[in-house]
Structure 1
Amino acid sequence: MSTFLHITNGDVTTQILKNLKIEGEIITWREMLCEGKTTTDVGSEDFWKIRYDFLSSAYKVTKKTFIDFTLKEYRNLCKQNQDEIVLWFDHDLFCQVNLVAVVSWLKKYRKGRKITLVQTNISDQSQSRYGFSGISKDELTVLYNNRVTLSQDDIEYADYIWQLYCSDSPLRLETVHKFNPSSPFIYLTDAINAHLRRFPSLENGLNKIENTILHTVNTSNLKNENDLIRSLLTNQKVYGFGDVQYSNKIKELKTLFSSLNPVKLSESGIKVLHNQLNYYRELRSDFSYLGGAKKYSYLYVNATDKLLKL
């Protein structure tokens, strides 16, 4: 009889699998590698130090919380040695970055194990918006039964994407992910495209997410910050961010708001939104990373959909 290990994209999916009484052990991957600096050596002491430094600085995560919430679960993962490892990750950027990192870890530490992948179907409106949490037990069982087995080439490919994501230049990511149409990672291309749009635009110095926040404020009648965050969560298609991440983004853009109760843009915010003012210098930081690359060392050129190295 085969033994199973399920690695999930978060606590919600873990609880769903427990309710489903699915066979095997379950590990929750509690990280948000789509934000902050990352290095290729997933699970190493240096890797976790860099991650803690970022989470502590950006989200005020305490050492105790980091150890209890993330490190203990990772150490539990290290003890598992089942025949088949089943990965449960959604289509969005948040999950796809975590997915390639986990596959990279498995390539190194679980060589030869059967690795399978369960993915939602984003042509289904409910699955697109809510991921695994928007699926009935019967639908979830169908997805599980139709899981894809990753070949060695698939594992190598995911590991290569992770290496590029962690490199100090995102330029190779612009093309390499487009040359593997047979890949089972069917949502990776959209996720990487979304990642590249997180670098500041040439037009006004804000990235896609930051511009979306300003646009949402300018076109909506929002009573407070919670209203704004709800709107952003409802309408995001590919990022998979949570309320804490959007709250952090709003805080970074605070000088572009004249009020958060009700939510209104300042005069500068309106000018930035309409590309009449470039806010690159005001936002620029040498400590802001996307993967292995410094966020403000590259500009996204909307006219060509290309990155420009500064």
Structure 2
Amino acid sequence: MSRQPLRLAILEATRLLEEAGVNSPRTDAELLAAHVVGVERTRLGLVPLVDPEVIETYRGLVARRAQRIPLQHITGVSSMGEIDVEVGPGVFVPRPETELLLAWAIAVLEDCPARPPVVLDLCTGSGALALAVAHARPDADVHAVELDPKALSWARRNADTRALDGDTAITLYQGDVTDRALLTDLEGRVDLVVSNPPYIPEGAELDREVAEHDPAVALFGGPDGLSVITPMVSNIARWLKIGGALAIEHDDTNGGQVAALLRERRVFGEVAEHPDLAGKPRFVVARRVATEAEAARRA
């Protein structure tokens, strides 16, 4: 059988995905095609014709995406910064919005006087954020915490892969980021804390890809989305050294509340809210500016 136009298959896939309610049908159709033929999405035009077996494989993947299985579960990878990490059932799929938090974190580390800077990623999931920081700053001493054992296994797999690729190893821990006894050896030593914790308020309406495939433990943060963030703030205060910085991602409905939590703890200053790619409130940053004793005197 003769070779077939890939462009026509992509057009058909776009139509099917649109009918299935996929939010970005053309983009996903092209990304799946690029995955099947093994090229970058931008180079699909260089592959005008493919074998019938390729079209058959492609249609099978498109059918899975039409069932609202996450694109990243089908391709097996998700991007963060300059790296890819493996993802699949049992782990939260990193979102493009977190790229903005990553960019902020890397910029902060550029001005950090500590060598090596100590970085702590809370609720690391697949390890994407911690590993992206380690890739961008090979001199950093990066630690990452995850509660869910399934997610932690993905993080360990990704950490092993990045180490084989030559990136600096990170240190992984299983633990509850709200536990006051967690990582006491890092108290007062951390230069930067980053976190993409569970923050969706319970009862929120979610896309099928999220509701049916992302683990609930990585999504929901109690009735107001703050059940993890609120106690985590106290731990961040004890881990950060004076001058250390933090960034916490949050739901677009509670950015002001997260900022208020940090301002109420007088050990923090320079509190600022940052929007995501859609202009919605997405993460809050601050610095540790005082000891507990100094903060008490200011109260």
Structure 2-normalised TM-score?
A: 0.28
Structure holding more strand per residue: 2
Structure 1-normalised TM-score?
A: 0.27
